[in-house]
Amino acid sequence: MRPLRSIHVLCGIVMSVHVWASELPEERELMTNLSNLFLRKVPADLTPTTTMLDLSYNLLSELQSPDFRSVSRLKVLILCHNHIQELDIKTFEFNKELKYLDLSYNMLKTVTWHSLAGLRHLDLSFNDFGTMPISEEISNMSRLEVLGLSGAEIQKSDFQKIAHLHLTTVFLGLRTLSHYEEGSLPILNTTKLHIVLPANTDFWVLLRDGIKTSKILEMTNIDGKSQFASYETQKSLTLENSKTSTLLLSNVDLLWDDLLFIFQFVWHTSVEYFQIEHVTFGGMVYLNRNSFDYSNTAMRAIKLEHVHFRFFHIPQDSVYLLFTKMDIENLTLSDAQMPHMLFPTYPTRFQYLNFADNILTDELFKNPTQLPHLKTLILKGNKLETLSLVSSFAKNTSLQFLDLSQNLLQHENKENCFWPETLITMNLSSNKFVDSVFGCLPTRVQILDLSNNQIQTVPKEIIHLESLQELNLAFNVLTDLPGCSHFKRLSVLNMEMNLILSPSPDFFQSCPGVKTLNAGGNPFRCTCELRDFIQLEQYSKGMMVGWSDSYICEYPLNLKGTRLKDVHLPELSCNTALLIVTIVAAMLVLGTAVAFCCRYFDLLWYVRMLGQWTQMWHRVRKTTRQLKRNAQFHLFISYSEHDSAWVKYELIPTLEKEDGSVSICLPERNFDPGKTVTENILNCIEKSCKSILVLSPSFVQSEWCHYELYFAHYPLLDEISHHIILILLEPVPLYCVPTRYPRLKALMEKKAYLEWPKDRRKCGLFWANLRANIHVSSLETRDTCEPHTFTELKEESRGSALSLIRTDYI
């Protein structure tokens, strides 16, 4: 057990030592909290720099002189709730800075005094002293402000020693009181006196002396078991030089008569504010009309809170009127199980009435009342049901603040409401209101709390609340933020915990004045509609209360649980107009680029040529078997006289440069003069693997007639495309083609030819295309078209032919 406890203590020390900064930054305060550790001795290993030491709730029974020697900088020492029986103040002789010493709730019987001049707070209450532990040394503690004392006997002579000290608080925590010498308390000079009485004490004399002692008097534990409130006592209670203006009694258990005596007694003193808390009434209530003398008082406010009745038959009317006839400024009767309340029929001076947490019903408003000065009415936590009744009650008042929260209030549309113009703050939270409540609101209201009701929408056709600044609609069932067209001055809006999926744009447009918005805890749907809302926080930092932890997506399901802050909704995907503009712009740019390329780089020509290559490439891949043919030449070239220069100096040299052994059938070389031109041409076509026709206007005029017939044999152009290659050397406009050449027309229309480019830079592509045509056709027909001079294509050139794009009939 012992080692365990040592470990426990050690852990306690380690864990409870922490540092905080004092008002003087250079002086660090160090707190050591050793509370509640079952310590029997003050630990020897205290941190020397400790300035605050808590040893409360331990088992210490004595203090020894070296105990606090190590902690010389100690300022605060808490030793309450231990078992210390004897104390020598010399124990603290090394703690010159000690300011606060709490020794309450011990078993002290004697104290050996030494001077502790720096002490400001000394608490010796709830100890077992016989007489008050007051000595000459205490009288020397000129800085003392708070003094806690206890003792079974209280005598004038004890207090006389400290009469010259100007204390702020004297606390008498008494376990027993066997003797009180009348007139002792008023010797003290203190602002506040708090007496905690032992059970069954004659409190009257202490109450009377207390009222003569301090401005604030508090007495705890008052019970009237000892009945002595005789008529004589009451008479002798009238007192002249009373000082108290604030009187607080708590934990009171009295017969009704005694309580009434207290009220009557206090009524004629200097007390202005009288508060009784946690009070239980017993006995029978007898009241006749004149049993209370209301004359001659300083009283301004009475507060009775947490009242419990031990009797069951109360003459209700007279009890209510007893209080309301007091006609003071403030009256609080809360948590008192009161079912009703009555007011005098004449005008009263009440400014503040608080009947919170009772069981008041609409009956309260049945009798006419005259409360012209009433500014604050608190009826929270009752059983009121009809809002319009409250309004007619309030009409005759100058009410500014009305708290009707936690009732059962409702409002029917047909009922009329008449609120006073003065009403500016209204709390209607936690009732049963629906949308119709907006038909019964004071026009000048500035702060309106409608939280925790069942409001679904803010109706469009409501009166304008021009002064409304704060509106709380939290914990309702609204599905949207309200617009501000009816509340032009709105600056604080609370829409927490409603059913808002995505706030409508109306809010952003009509509510520029809203500075604070709380919309946390709503089931947000994180789609594009929410973008404005998310941006609202980005643009106005700090506007949203609870950002960002309370703002969570509920929908769509893949975003559920994500904070709005972390949701990314790109501008482009959300803004349709922007999207259209972007697409149009992109198309414009692209179009311009294409047009530019067409204009300056003849893009269309390249595209067409590339198309030809592509087709040829496909063609290569699905080569079909060809008719067997015996060939004598690789190529037959047919052209008009007009184009012979191009053929001789461009075409043939280029083809021969490619392959020196190429054999070409040319009209002027290989035509047989004995035969007709047509016969010669057909002969040559048949003897050659490939025929090239060089088209130009003059070719069409002079040569084409021979071919029109030949082409007529082949209704499908594809059939001849393997061995006829048309080269368009010069453009042949369609209208120049005579109608008698329908085949040529068809070919021209189909653009089934290779076009000789005007631009020399493009010639490379033309030659490549032509060569590819020749080679591909050769490949297709390689097995069959093998002139004796034709050399086998090299492996790599075959590869290149394959990788070129096959062009034929386009």
Ligand X SMILES: *[C@@H]1O[C@H](CO)[C@@H](O)[C@H](O)[C@H]1NC(C)=O
Q: Decide: is 137 part of the binding site for ligand X (CB under 6 A).
A: yes
Contact 324, 341 (CB under 8 A): yes
Q: Decide: is 145 part of the binding site for ligand X (CB under 6 A).
A: no
Contact 342, 320 (CB under 8 A): yes
Q: Decide: is 492 part of the binding site for ligand X (CB under 6 A).
A: no
Which residue number, 128 or 327, has a Cβ lying nearer to ligand X? 327
Q: Which two tokens stand for residue 58?
A: 């331990």
Which residue number, 445 or 664, has a Cβ lying nearer to ligand X? 445
Which residue number, 223 or 470, has a Cβ lying nearer to ligand X? 470
Shortest distance (Å) from residue 183 CB to ligand X: 14
How many chain residues touch ligand X (CB under 6 A)? 31
Alpha-carbon distances of 140 from 102, 171, 502, rounded to whole Å:
19, 19, 72
With CA atoms as reference, report the closest residue to 271 among 237, 240, 242, 304: 242
Which residue number, 166 or 515, has a Cβ lying nearer to ligand X? 166
Which residue number, 39 or 695, has a Cβ lying nearer to ligand X? 39
Tell me whether residue 214 is exposed, middle or buried, using C-beta atoms within 10 angstroms of its C-beta: 0 to 12, 13 to 18, 19 or more. Answer: buried
Q: Decide: is 209 part of the binding site for ligand X (CB under 6 A).
A: no
Cis before 150 (ω within 30): no
Shortest distance (Å) from residue 461 CB to ligand X: 26
Half-sphere exposure at residue 447, Cβ-oriented, CA atoms within 13 angstroms = 7
Shortest distance (Å) from residue 17 CB to ligand X: 11
Binding mask 499-538 for ligand X (x = CB under 6 A): ----------------------------------------
Q: Decide: is 438 part of the binding site for ligand X (CB under 6 A).
A: no
Stretch that binds ligand X, among 18-26, 119-127, 426-434, 532-540 (CB under 6 A): 426-434
Report which residue type is found at 620: V
Which residue number, 272 or 554, has a Cβ lying nearer to ligand X? 272
Alpha-carbon dihedral of residues 430, 434, 435, 438, nearest 10 degrees? -50
The H or E element spanning position 724 is: strand 724-728
Distance CA 126, CA 173 (A): 5
Shortest distance (Å) from residue 326 CB to ligand X: 13
Binding mask 266-305 for ligand X (x = CB under 6 A): ------xx--------------------------xx----
Contact 224, 202 (CB under 8 A): no
Which residue number, 272 or 658, has a Cβ lying nearer to ligand X? 272
Contact 63, 84 (CB under 8 A): yes
Of 345-384, binders to ligand X (CB under 6 A) are: 352, 368-370, 376, 380
With CA atoms as reference, report the closest residue to 267 among 219, 342, 193, 323: 323
Which residue number, 143 or 648, has a Cβ lying nearer to ligand X? 143
Q: Decide: is 33 part of the binding site for ligand X (CB under 6 A).
A: yes
Which residue number, 128 or 272, has a Cβ lying nearer to ligand X? 272
Shortest distance (Å) from residue 324 CB to ligand X: 14
> 27, 136, 466, 566: which one contacts ligand X (CB under 6 A)?
136
> 447, 501, 720, 793: which one contacts ligand X (CB under 6 A)?
447
Other Cβ atoms less than 10 A from the Cβ of 687: the count is: 17
Stretch that binds ligand X, among 136-144, 414-422, 522-530, 683-691 (CB under 6 A): 136-144
Helix (H, G, I), strand (E, B) or coil at 613: helix
- Per-residue burial over 398-421, b = 16 or more CB atoms within 10 Å of its CB, e = otherwise: ebbbbbbbbbebbbeeebebebbe
Half-sphere exposure at residue 701, Cβ-oriented, CA atoms within 13 angstroms = 10
Q: Decide: is 104 part of the binding site for ligand X (CB under 6 A).
A: no
Binding mask 50-79 for ligand X (x = CB under 6 A): ----x-------------------------
With CA atoms as reference, report the closest residue to 729 among 709, 706, 700: 700
Distance CA 630, CA 367 (A): 130
Shortest distance (Å) from residue 364 CB to ligand X: 12
Which residue number, 110 or 330, has a Cβ lying nearer to ligand X? 330
Q: Please, what is the Cα angle at 342 between 340 and 348, to 5 degrees?
A: 145
Alpha-carbon dihedral of residues 388, 391, 396, 398, nearest 10 degrees? -170
> 115, 131, 176, 614: which one contacts ligand X (CB under 6 A)?
115
DSSP secondary structure letter of residue 794: P
Shortest distance (Å) from residue 404 CB to ligand X: 9
> 67, 449, 643, 703: which one contacts ligand X (CB under 6 A)?
449
φ, ψ (nearest 5 deg) of residue 626: -115, 160
> 5, 20, 21, 36: which one contacts ligand X (CB under 6 A)?
36
Of 161-190, binders to ligand X (CB under 6 A) are: 166, 189
Report which residue type is found at 346: Y
Helix (H, G, I), strand (E, B) or coil at 24: coil
With CA atoms as reference, report the closest residue to 797 among 775, 778, 777, 765: 775
Q: Decide: is 400 part of the binding site for ligand X (CB under 6 A).
A: no
Which residue number, 392 or 504, has a Cβ lying nearer to ligand X? 392
Q: Which two tokens stand for residue 323?
A: 């209080």
Residues lying near ligand X in the complex (CB under 6 A): 33, 35-36, 54, 115, 136-137, 140, 166, 189, 272-273, 300-301, 329-330, 352, 368-370, 376, 380, 392, 396, 405-406, 427, 429-430, 447, 449
